[in-house]
């Protein structure tokens, strides 16, 4: 049997798009997920299971008992209050209930389980905050280069990152550099407890985090490999390694 991969969903308070497209009414909240995540997990041999923001966190813990791995998807900015900062004028819309659930979930998964976990974009930032780290609320404001590169299609690559030798990322790809896409304006600042940086952009922005002391697959990346799986074997290889580890643990639930 194929492994079940839970994927966290974006949560939206905005019902305007639903009214505009005739699929809902004002005042509704929505769970949203780009199809790229579903496609990527299916492509590499997993069965996607969408994880909403639950009203009762206990339902999430029950759902975890049926899963073999969890992928943290991208989305809104993390509320700066979660890492003890005052919101910048550059900080975008936040979703406090999603922040609460995912920070708690990330901490539980990496500290109390061996379940394979993969963190993408916002997920990379959530992991860092969950383990006591902080974020740059806006990279240009913090004097880095612009990393929200919209002039290049998201399904293509636009800059290089340098990969740390002997890291999990290096073991999986067997290379020192990687071309990635880039769709973020925030990034890791102070690194959380137990985390190590395994890749950086040319301007020093953290592009990947790992947990070398944790038993079980755990990788966090700042780019979007799920958008690159059809055209770039290296990015497909990362997600395939995650799903393969989930498949190995399938019988241990």
The closest alpha carbon to 5, from 249, 248, 246, belongs to 246
- Other beta carbons within 10 angstroms of residue 111's beta carbon come to 13
Distances (CA, A) of 30 to 8, 10, 123, 168: 13, 8, 19, 35
Instruction: Specify the pairing of strand 206-210 against strand 218-221.
Output: antiparallel
121 annotated active-site: yes
Distances (CA, A) of 161 to 30, 70, 169, 204, 230: 34, 25, 12, 9, 20
Catalytic residue, from 121, 147, 207, 210: name it. Answer: 121
- Other beta carbons within 10 angstroms of residue 39's beta carbon come to 15
170 annotated active-site: no
Q: Which helix (H) or strand (E) is 105 found in, with range?
A: helix 96-112
Catalytic residue, from 102, 207, 210, 226: name it. Answer: 226
Catalytic residue, from 159, 184, 185, 224: name it. Answer: 224
141 annotated active-site: no
Residues 6 or more apart whose Cβ sits within 8 Å of residue 119: 71, 72, 106, 126, 127, 209, 219, 220, 221
Distances (CA, A) of 107 to 4, 84, 117, 127: 20, 17, 11, 7
Q: Could you give the residue numbers annotated as active site?
A: 121, 224, 226
């Amino acid at each position: 049997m194929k492994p079940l991969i839970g994927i966290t969903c974006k949560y939206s308070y905005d019902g305007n798009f639903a009214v505009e497209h005739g699929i809902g009414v004002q005042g509704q909240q929505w769970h949203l997920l780009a199809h790229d995540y579903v496609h990527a997990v299916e492509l590499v041999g997993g069965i996607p299971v969408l994880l909403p923001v639950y009203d009762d966190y206990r339902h999430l813990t029950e759902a975890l008992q049926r899963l073999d791995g969890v992928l943290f998807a991208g989305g809104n900015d993390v509320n700066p209050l979660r890492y003890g900062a005052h919101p910048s004028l550059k900080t975008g819309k936040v979703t406090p209930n999603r922040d609460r659930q995912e920070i708690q979930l990330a901490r539980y998964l990496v500290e109390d389980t061996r379940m394979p976990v993969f963190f993408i974009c916002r997920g990379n930032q959530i992991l860092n905050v969950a383990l006591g780290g902080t974020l740059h609320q806006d990279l240009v404001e913090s004097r880095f280069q612009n990393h929200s590169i919209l002039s290049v299609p998201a399904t293509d690559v636009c800059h290089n990152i340098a990969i740390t030798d002997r890291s999990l990322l290096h073991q999986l790809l067997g290379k020192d550099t990687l071309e990635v896409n880039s769709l973020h304006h925030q990034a890791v600042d102070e690194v959380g407890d137990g985390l190590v940086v395994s890749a950086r952009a040319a301007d020093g922005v953290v592009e990947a985090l790992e947990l070398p002391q944790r038993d079980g697959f755990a990788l966090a990346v700042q780019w979007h490999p799920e958008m690159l799986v059809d055209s770039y074997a290296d990015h497909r290889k990362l997600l395939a390694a995650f799903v393969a580890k989930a498949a190995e643990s399938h019988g241990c639930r």
